[in-house]
Structure 1
Amino acid sequence: LLRQAREERHRPSDVVVHVSDALVPTVTVEDVAEALTDSRLMERIGASSVLLGLIDNGRMELVGSNGVHEGLIQDFHLARLSEPLPLTEAARTREAVFVTNRLDFIARFPALTPYMSQFPDAAAAVYLPLIAQDTPIGAVGLTYEGRASFPPDERTVLTALGKVIAQSLQRALLYDQEHELAAGLQTAMLPGILPHVPGVHLATRYRPTRARGGIGGDWYDALTLPDGRIAVVVGDVQGHDVTAAAVMGQLRIALRAYAAEGHPPSTAMARASAFLAELDTDRFATCLMALVDPLTGMTSVVRAGHPEPVLRGPDGSCAWLDTPGGLPLGLNTPGGQPAYPVFETVVEPGSTLVLCTDGLIESRAEDLDQGRERLLDALRAGPGQPDALADHLLDTMATYTGEEDDVALLVLQRSRGKASPAPRMEAVISPSDPDALRNARIALREALHSWSLEALSDTAELLACELATNALVHTDGSATLTARPVRHSGRGLRLAVSDTSTASPRRRAAPERATSGRGMMLIEELATAWGIEPRGNGKTVWCELSLDLV
């Protein structure tokens, strides 16, 4: 009864069914090779070994095997089609090679004589040509135990089996070619060389989706600014087609140019949004930019509809940074350009900042919050080095996401060592405290002395008072004055006043005898640069002074 059941399970008519079912979910050539060499499939079709080869530049490349000695694979991994071997003969002649006698096999293929002892129980074998669109693309070999012949009906079934395998293999080859072309196109639009910044280690990865075509709009970028800071970016253009990749290339270059010109992150993002809208492609994009000072760790983050960055501290603790965000790029608002709030934090020595696109965490089978938690778990368990960590995150998360979307990943790690605290002065100015403004001027003067920027004291105090007074008069609540040295083309100072109002100051022409209205005019005349940055809970008005212009 057992023998009868085994024979019924291995009936010739069922062999094609078993193999077809196994090949249905395959996508790549690797998938096809794994399916054909699976031990469960071999048991179903009654084969004791399987060997799959693909034709590549006049050679037979062995791409999959099970039950075949490793030495044979190594010796004949890239055999020429002209060599007298069973796979090459099947492909060369386009005819199936049936073998039922070991002596005949040795006489026919003498190069395999030393390996026959490794198949003591093999009694018969068949080598099927794989032909697609009248072109041989490979061959597959099956060996059997306890078989003395191949009846005509079984030979017909095995010949049909070769056609089924060839169709799946041709589909996989086309997919791999499209995937390679798409990945090459996408990669060509990404930066080829990352900047080398002392004190910071970078690692970037791009992984295309497994979907047909495999092309998308995800990108990463990094550039060094004249003042020594480094700007890092990840983004994702809507869609998975050539248009998305083309728009991505244009948007990446535009955003890079705005940042290189010295625009603060919020301004660079707003200009990039306007640029994308003017392209009139009906596409939008999400984006995340971080501006990092490698000496102090001071980091400014701006995001446009994009997942927040993740920070791993020196102690291994991991958290998503609660960063306020603006609209995706390319979406216009009734009031003009959308606002992009700035989030500031400090990346401590030994800390790692991770920027990624949503393809790393999103899956159709799971809630987004689960993906976010999985990324934190993967980051906690990941290695310390940025390159190894990037590979670990891609491999770990792919298990859950299924590579349904393409991924851009950037890992920035600040070198360990003695921390260089960011030089910074901060003073809270309350409208209910009459001494607050005077105390702030004293603190500013002392800070400038400690930074060897005394030459800027008079101008800095004047502008600081104008900024603070403007905030106190035109907004409700307290204002916060901050000052820190900057290093653009030379040495300088950055002053900023933050408040909880979203109303922006406006430059207006004051009458000759007016006692107010000249604050912004003074700032324009005396500062080398100034601007307004929205925050999650208000705004910041800033200006910069250069020591070289004193």
Structure 2
Amino acid sequence: MRPAGRPRTLPLPSGRTAPPGEAAAVTAFIDRLPGGSCALDMNGRITFVTPAGADLLGAGPDELVGALPWEALPWMDVPQVEDRYRAALVSHQPQAFTVLRPPDTWLAFELYPDPSGVSVRITGTDPSESAPAPPSASAAGPSRAVLLYQLMQLAATLTEAIGVQDVVDQAADQLLPALGAQGMVLMAPDDDRLRIIGHRGYSADIIDRFDTVPLSSDLPVARVLTTGVPYFFTSFTELRRAFPATVHEDGMAAWAVLPLIASGRPRGSLLLSYRRPRAFPPGERAVLTSMAGLVGQALDRARLYDTKDDLAHRLQSALLPHTLPDVPGLKVAARYLPAAQGLGVGGDFYDLIRLDEHTVGAAIGDVQGHNVDAAALMGQVRTAVHAHATVGSAPDQVLAGTNRLLTDLEPGLFTSCLYIHLDLTTRLACVATAGHPPPLLRHADGRTEVLPVPPGLLLGIEPDSRYPALEFPLPAGCVLALYTDGLVEAPGVDLDDATAALAGLLEQADPADLDAMAGTLIRHAPAPGDDIALLLISPCG
């Protein structure tokens, strides 16, 4: 259901579709051109080929479309083909090369790139009249422009990496396709062992065999950690000569083993592997070493972030209630969903306080900020609310006393909080709020209302603030929903519309199963840009 007045999302207009007559004219135009044509996407895969182009390539369109040329056509598996394609993408300039299609057919390829892909013209040629083919990548390596572009692109991408897994994913996404490598392993020391923290292109069996190998092992990935010197092996023979104990298990033909340097010290090692032989000329070796340095610095930052993030989340977890009290005549369900990675730990909290046999207090709140300070202040607020509630204070007094404590502490952070006192004998409740989203009350017939709680100032601003309370009945079969703003706030969405949508979900949910109801509300929450706390309460019996 969509609440009245809520914005409606319209689909984006589709791209232009050529009329049948125009499409036929374009096809006829292409067929009249000499030679053949094909198109490649930004990943190098063939998206279109003319019949004449397929004839020249010696394969059917079904074999070619969707494939990489150097994989579908073995005779194109030569370094200059892939290198010229990458050069076209980087320079945005036409490229050309000549290749022999066995046994004796020479083909000339002209590449015309744009931001959407590459158009390719294919013609037969006489090699004696053609310009000499560009030097192969195995001899000269990728062009200087390609390597510099890859270096800058990696640097820009890694600045956005937050945690270790981000570094692993972004390094693999950038390095493997850009360098033509087929495998990557990232390793870091852990006590006296080398732990694999991420990989791409290798089976789990191989990774398991090499994970946590001793740092004293006679392996290049361990040696670079002690020497800080990279290794480049153009063949397994060369690798075996340097490290006689090495067994050829990965099926690769060439390897680069690079130290991950940060603050002048090796912090890990990076293995890049290639299925084809590779010479690693000096220019390429220098750029690979620089790329590894960028990965090492990003990894150092990411490991520090992960350590702090883990500490903050463990602190927050320790401050939240592990279980809620079992109160006769009351059903409860609670959920906490942390914010998305990169925003830090938040200060959302909830609590259920058993006051005596027939009365219960419930609190929910949100401390400003996403850091360890917010988590620590959350613990202080929860403790203060609990202390004032257990001595029998009314909701307005609970919030007023907690507010005075926060203003005395001067934490520099503000807190929203809502506290409800529930009397299960009289079926009456009393609620006060300090700048917190209003609770929702679902009646037994499904009708859901937003409780009109008088507004109160956020905690920690004005020491003498007052928090007027609202008393309301708890009808049989009702469900009371307390939540933090992360459950309803989203960019570009009106808060009243979002609250109405949440009320609609509450209406449709089954009140007999509060856990399922809580799960439904959390699943329909916006993307977790903020913490979410949810507490559902239902008097029964």
Aligned residues: 403
Cα shift at 1:409: 1.0
* Amino acid of the structure 1 residue aligned with 2:231: V
Hey, what's the Cα distance between the residues in 2 that align with 1:137 and 1:391? 42
Is 1:127–2:257 an aligned residue pair? yes
Hey, what's the Cα distance between the residues in 2 that align with 1:394 and 1:324? 27
Hey, what's the Cα distance between the residues in 2 that align with 1:345 and 1:72? 64
**Which string of whole-angstrom CA distances, capped at 9 and with x for unpartnered residues, describes residues 56-97 of structure 1?**
223222222221112112333333322344433332432222
Q: Does structure 1 retain, via aligned residues, the 8 Å contact 2:345–2:371?
A: yes
Residue in structure 1 matched with residue 100 of structure 2 by the alignment: none
Residue in structure 1 matched with residue 191 of structure 2 by the alignment: 57
- Classify 1:411/1:282 alpha carbon distance in 2 versus 1 (closer, same or farther; 3 Å): closer
Residue in structure 2 matched with residue 88 of structure 1 by the alignment: 222
SS in 2 for 1:37: helix
Residue in structure 2 matched with residue 70 of structure 1 by the alignment: 204
Alignment of 1:529-544 (within 5 A): none
Hey, what's the Cα distance between the residues in 2 that align with 1:348 and 1:220? 24
* Amino acid of the structure 2 residue aligned with 1:141: L
Cα shift at 1:130: 0.9
Which of the residues 143, 151, 171 maps onto 1:16?
151
Residue in structure 2 matched with residue 174 of structure 1 by the alignment: 304
- Classify 1:60/1:347 alpha carbon distance in 2 versus 1 (closer, same or farther; 3 Å): farther
Q: Does structure 2 retain, via aligned residues, the 8 Å contact 1:55–1:136?
A: no
- Classify 1:340/1:330 alpha carbon distance in 2 versus 1 (closer, same or farther; 3 Å): farther
Residue in structure 1 matched with residue 293 of structure 2 by the alignment: 163
What is the Cα-based RMSD across aligned positions, in Å? 3.7
Hey, what's the Cα distance between the residues in 2 that align with 1:70 and 1:14? 32
Residue in structure 2 matched with residue 200 of structure 1 by the alignment: 331
Hey, what's the Cα distance between the residues in 2 that align with 1:139 and 1:322? 60
**Which string of whole-angstrom CA distances, capped at 9 and with x for unpartnered residues, describes residues 283-308 of structure 1?**
54211123345688754433221012
SS in 1 for 2:416: strand
Which of the residues 168, 172, 180 maps onto 1:37?
172
Residue in structure 1 matched with residue 470 of structure 2 by the alignment: 342
- Classify 1:68/1:274 alpha carbon distance in 2 versus 1 (closer, same or farther; 3 Å): same
* Amino acid of the structure 2 residue aligned with 1:306: H
Is 1:286–2:416 an aligned residue pair? yes
- Classify 1:158/1:292 alpha carbon distance in 2 versus 1 (closer, same or farther; 3 Å): same
Is 1:230–2:357 an aligned residue pair? no
* Amino acid of the structure 2 residue aligned with 1:200: K
* Amino acid of the structure 2 residue aligned with 1:341: A
Which of the residues 485, 493, 501 maps onto 1:358?
485
* Amino acid of the structure 1 residue aligned with 2:482: L
**Which string of whole-angstrom CA distances, capped at 9 and with x for unpartnered residues, describes residues 188-236 of structure 1?**
4444553233442433426257457x35543322211113433221112
- List runs of 5+ in structure 2 lacking aligned partners: 1-79, 91-141
SS in 1 for 2:469: coil
Q: Does structure 2 retain, via aligned residues, the 8 Å contact 1:95–1:129?
A: yes
Residue in structure 1 matched with residue 61 of structure 2 by the alignment: none
Cα shift at 1:238: 3.6
Give the TM-score normalised by the residue count of structure 2: 0.64
SS in 2 for 1:325: coil
Cα shift at 1:388: 7.2
* Amino acid of the structure 1 residue aligned with 2:291: L
Cα shift at 1:371: 4.9
Cα shift at 1:155: 0.8
* Amino acid of the structure 1 residue aligned with 2:352: A
Residue in structure 2 matched with residue 6 of structure 1 by the alignment: 85
Which of the residues 173, 181, 184 maps onto 1:47?
181
Higher mean C-alpha displacement, 379-388 vs 82-91: 379-388
**Which string of whole-angstrom CA distances, capped at 9 and with x for unpartnered residues, describes residues 296-344 of structure 1?**
87544332210123456778887654444323234549xx651322242
- List runs of 5+ in structure 1 lacking aligned partners: 421-550
Alignment of 1:65-464 (within 5 A): 65-105=199-239, 108=243, 110=245, 112-113=247-248, 115-116=249-250, 119=251, 122-198=252-328, 199-205=330-336, 207=338, 210-211=341-342, 214-240=344-370, 244-281=374-411, 283-292=413-422, 299-310=429-440, 320-332=450-462, 337-346=465-474, 349=477, 353-364=480-491, 366-369=493-496, 371-372=498-499, 397=525, 399=527, 401=528, 403=529, 405=530, 407=531, 409-414=533-538, 420=541
Q: Does structure 1 retain, via aligned residues, the 8 Å contact 2:350–2:535?
A: no
- Classify 1:195/1:68 alpha carbon distance in 2 versus 1 (closer, same or farther; 3 Å): same
- Classify 1:242/1:51 alpha carbon distance in 2 versus 1 (closer, same or farther; 3 Å): closer
